[in-house]
A and B are shown apart, each in its own frame.
Chain A
Amino acid sequence: MARQAARGPDPRKVSNELFTLTYGAMVAQLVKDYEHDDEVNKQLDKMGYNIGVRLIEDFLARSGVGRCNDLRETADVISRVAFKMFLGITPVVTNWSPAGDEFSLLLENNPLTEFVELPDGHSQLNYSNILCGALRGALEMVQLDVTVWFVQDQLKGDSISEIRLKFNKRLEDAVPAGED
């Protein structure tokens, strides 16, 4: 038992390059399988969603942040704690809409897209769409219905990658039909 406790680095950590290359191989395979970029984007979003609904539990358990009172706090926690924990980057929260229900996350260096160049003929591909899905899935599990999409993408030639998040509504837990 003492041996197990002395295990130094977190065994769940993998090398940065392994992560990037694995994600790259997966996207390349998706592109081969589905002919259209829209299909691939949809698939990435679905995969991200499935990751997000599970990731939120891990996140809340490890970070121990409490309930957020408004969207600004949520945005702050997402960028400072969540992104830092899982991707090691801290995106900047900006471009708040006047109503306060939309904001942008600016990512300067996305670890998923290191060394990646979009091939010709796939200019509509949102390579990091899995992030959008993950955010949507995770926030849905904490009763927030949001729409997430990419506004700018460094792989498509923009200077920075920008994810926009729009808050739609609060989700109330529905009582299953037949009870009460």
Chain B
Amino acid sequence: MSGSYYFVIVGHQDNPIFEMDFLPTSKNNDPKRDDHRHLNQFIAHAALDLVDEQMWASSNMYLKTVDKFNEWFVSAFVTAGRMRFIMLHDVKNEDGIKNFFQDMYETYIKFSMNPFYKFNGLIKSTAFEKKAQFCGKRYLNV
């Protein structure tokens, strides 16, 4: 039972640094997909306030599910550098999402050690995208 996921890394200025959709192949509704993109960004943005509140309350990096919007759940993960990883999903998959966040965190760390990467800037590397897709296939569409 696989659902659709939307993953975004948000920087310090509430700017999206990296976005990725994971949609199961069964959903072939292309026109709806474009609408969903704007909706996803809106939901993620709205959830940021809740994430900011909870990040000080919890000493864990993984904040589990912080918000719910209609049928979408919002899970969050805050890194040591206060980069927020937000995941929108319509099926509960805590373990998968937690592992996904951990792997993406490691990938992000390795990527940010590159001296040519401007911190808080857009991530444009194809290697990073491939890694994200690979992690997504592994942990989310189980």
Q: Quick one: which of B89-142 are within 8 Å of A by CB?
A: 110-111, 113-116, 124-125, 127
The minimal Cβ–Cβ distance linking A26 to chain B, given in whole angstroms, is 8
Please give, as numbers and ranges, the residues of chain A lying within 8 Å of B110 by CB-CB distance.
115
Which B residues are CB-close (under 8 A) to A87? none
Number of interface residues of B (CB under 8 A): 9
Which residues of B have CB within 8 Å of A117? Answer: 114, 116, 125, 127
Tell me whether A171 is interfacial, beta carbon within 8 Å: no
Task: Judge whether A27 is part of the interface by a CB distance below 8 angstroms.
Answer: yes
The answer to whether A115 touches B116, judged by C-beta atoms less than 8 angstroms apart, is no
- Give the docked Cα–Cα distance between A27 and B114 (Å): 11
Closest chain A CB from B128 CB (angstroms)? 10
Closest approach, in angstroms, between the C-beta of B69 and any C-beta of chain A?
Answer: 36
Instruction: List CB contacts (< 8 Å) of A82-130 with chain B.
Output: 114-120
CB contact list, A1-46 vs B, under 8 A:
21, 23-25, 27-28, 31
- List, in ascending order, chain A residues with CB within 8 A of B111's CB: 115
Q: What's the Cα separation between A114 and B115 when bound, in Å?
A: 10
Contact of B116 among A21, A23, A114, A116 (CB under 8 A): A116
* Most chain A beta-carbon contacts within 10 A, residue among B110, B114, B115, B124: B115
C-alpha gap A117/B107 in the complex (Å): 13
Asked whether, in the complex, the Cβ of B116 is within 8 Å of the Cβ of A118, the reply is yes
A41 CA to B110 CA, complexed, in Å: 25
A27 to chain B, nearest CB (A): 6
B residues less than 8 Å from A24 (CB atoms): 113-116
Apart from A117-B125, A118-B116, what are 8 other A-B pairs with CB-CB below 8 Å?
A21-B113, A21-B115, A23-B115, A25-B115, A116-B114, A117-B114, A119-B116, A120-B124
Can you give 15 contacting A-B residue pairs, CB < 8 Å? A21-B113, A23-B115, A24-B113, A24-B114, A24-B116, A25-B115, A27-B115, A28-B116, A31-B116, A114-B113, A116-B115, A116-B116, A117-B116, A119-B116, A120-B124
